[in-house]
Amino acid sequence: MSQRDPLLEAIARYPAPLIMTVVGLVGMPLTLWLFAPERAPARPETPVVISASATPTATPTGTPVAAIAAATQDIALALPEQSPAEALIVDAPASADPATSAEPAAAELLEDASATVPASTTETLSAPGSANSAPPPAQSFVPAPGTHYIALIIDDIGYVDDLGARAVALPDDVTFAVLPHTPHGVTLAQAAHDNGKEVMLHAPMSNLGAMPLGPGGLTPQLTREEFVQTLTTALDAVPHLQGLNNHMGSELTAQEEPMRWVMETLQGRDLYFVDSYTTASSVAGRIAREQNIPTLTRNVFLDNVQTAEDIDREFQRLLALAREKGFATGIGHPYAATLDYLEKTLPTLAALNIELIPVSQMIALQQQATGAW
Ligand SMILES: [Zn+2]
């Protein structure tokens, strides 16, 4: 009778503990390895969805397209409440008249005052971008030696007939930014084009001050489909467009995703983008460059304060920037004071070796000068 090992005998009699031990020693690391996060099958990203079905008619834009779409779809993006600090950003300057804030031009005035373009804005254009590929070739522009260049955009064209007509009759190559779906927008865009001027869409974008956008407003509450549809409808509503700039937008231009949707829409139409730069938090210009959309950023607002003295001071600042950098872009509005000033001043620029060029040429000039949009 052979001697039996007590341990083997015990294992033979009670195999379960051994099996469990083996399973535990081998199975646990195997399980951890198999279900490690990087080995787990990828799941489709689930967006944070808040059902909007309870309030189907509430849309910030008030456009029929947005209202219908919002009634049938969920809102995929919820924004946090605006903080008091953010609200301060768009507080009206002391000189602004709150009684007129519902007017588009006045509303923008409140917002325009909130963003001061850093002196380095034009340098940012020459910074190495994160573009996926080289920018497409711009139209060529040959600057004359000793000449400094400015571009001048008149925003908010469309609501006021007589001042709008006066604006499009300005001499030289002023560029006009026309609000979509406005009473006189199409007529004035056509008149500007007939007068040899460049026309862009002045796309209303949401602001931190909750100021009304008017028709065609773009907001973060829109789904991608609603957003692109609203912008496409606005682009189709104004003739002779060569580009787009933002009306207000201190909220929207700070958000990457909607700015990508803007640029994707422009890309299919071969249009440029001008960042009106109504907030220092704007990412619009960067997103435009990343997506190879020809772009520039506004340097000076001429008429945040509508007196001849204030407009002259800002215009001189524009000229000084142009002399320093070679080029600079200003934005004004169809105010009587602004038009008075420009009618008087634009004819004097040639004697100062300053040339006013349309925005498309300014973009080409900047690209040639800096090697980037
Ligand atoms: Zn505007």
Q: Which pLDDT band, with edges at 50, 70 and 90, does 73 fall under?
A: very low
195 against 72, higher pLDDT:
195
Q: Is 284 helix (H, G, I), strand (E, B) or coil?
A: helix
The answer on pLDDT for 263 being more than 60 is: yes
Q: Which pLDDT band, with edges at 50, 70 and 90, does 79 fall under?
A: very low
Spatial distance between the Cα atoms of 103 and 107, rounded to a whole number of angstroms: 6
Compute the mean pLDDT over every residue in the chain, rounded to the nearest whole number.
Answer: 75
Cross-strand bridge partners of residue 332? 154
Report the CATH number of the 64-370 domain. Answer: 3.20.20.370
User: What does the block give as tokens for 155?
Assistant: 């925003």
Cα(27) to ligand 1 centroid in Å equals: 66
Spatial distance between the Cα atoms of 318 and 291, rounded to a whole number of angstroms: 28
Q: Is 168 helix (H, G, I), strand (E, B) or coil?
A: helix
Cα(32) to ligand 1 centroid in Å equals: 58
The answer on pLDDT for 307 being more than 60 is: yes
Spatial distance between the Cα atoms of 264 and 241, rounded to a whole number of angstroms: 16
Q: Which pLDDT band, with edges at 50, 70 and 90, does 103 fall under?
A: very low
Cα(333) to ligand 1 centroid in Å equals: 8
Contact status, residue 153 vs residue 197, Cβ threshold 8 Å: no
Contact status, residue 330 vs residue 341, Cβ threshold 8 Å: no
Q: Which residues surround ligand 1, an ion (CB under 5 A)?
A: 108, 155-156, 247
Helix (H) or strand (E) holding 356: strand 354-356
Query: pTM for the whole thing?
Result: 0.67
Cα(51) to ligand 1 centroid in Å equals: 32
58 against 310, higher pLDDT:
310
Residue 11 pLDDT: 58
Sign of CA dihedral 362, 105, 182, 346: negative
Cα(109) to ligand 1 centroid in Å equals: 8
**DSSP character at residue 50:** B
255: Cβ–Cβ under 8 A, 6 or more apart, which residues? 220, 283
pLDDT tens, position by position, 225-253: 999 999 999 999 999 999 999 999 999 99
